[in-house]
């Protein structure tokens, strides 16, 4: 899969090429690097949705077009928006039904869910 980033700040939060500057706890750093690797090697969003430790879920409210995956039991999660082949955000329709065809995600945030 291909990973896009909402902006440079998010790229620095998520991309392992910036891992020397990450200010996360050690366990989060390891899980974040492993998550990036997993996404890059996934065939489609279906692989991510079907991987139980991620708890792939649709968000609500102001984030109704976004999805999240958890970084284990760290309290951290990665927020993303599925994108089509032209790198446009998919904000409508049944994403879960389209998972097998979605090969691009845009990371919008890495955050501690409990802060």
Q: Tell me the average confidence (pLDDT) per consecutive run of 10 residues in the chain, 115 residues long.
A: 96 94 94 96 96 95 93 94 95 89 96 78
Per-residue pLDDT, 80: 97
pLDDT digits (tens, 9 = 90+) for 20-41: 999 999 999 999 999 999 999 9
Per-residue pLDDT, 81: 96
Question: How is 45-108 classified by DSSP, letter by letter?
Answer: HHHHHT-GGG--EE--GGGTT-EEEE-TTSSEEEEEEEE-TTS-B--SS-HHHHGGG--EEEEE
Q: CA 8 to CA 92: how far, in whole Å?
A: 26
Q: CA 77 to CA 101: how far, in whole Å?
A: 24
DSSP 3: E
Q: CA 14 to CA 16: how far, in whole Å?
A: 6
pTM: 0.92
Per-residue pLDDT, 115: 61
Per-residue pLDDT, 100: 93
């Amino acid at each position: 899969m291909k990973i896009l980033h909402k902006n440079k700040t998010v790229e620095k939060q998520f991309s392992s090429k910036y891992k020397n500057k990450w200010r996360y706890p050690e366990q989060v750093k390891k899980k974040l690097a492993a998550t990036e690797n997993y996404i890059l090697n996934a065939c489609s969003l279906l692989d991510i949705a079907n991987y139980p430790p991620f708890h792939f879920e649709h968000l609500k409210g102001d984030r109704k077009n976004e999805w999240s995956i958890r970084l284990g039991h760290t309290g951290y999660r990665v927020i993303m928006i599925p994108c089509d082949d032209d790198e446009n955000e998919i904000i409508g329709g049944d994403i879960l039904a389209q998972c097998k065809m979605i090969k691009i995600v845009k990371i919008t945030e890495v955050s501690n869910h409990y802060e």
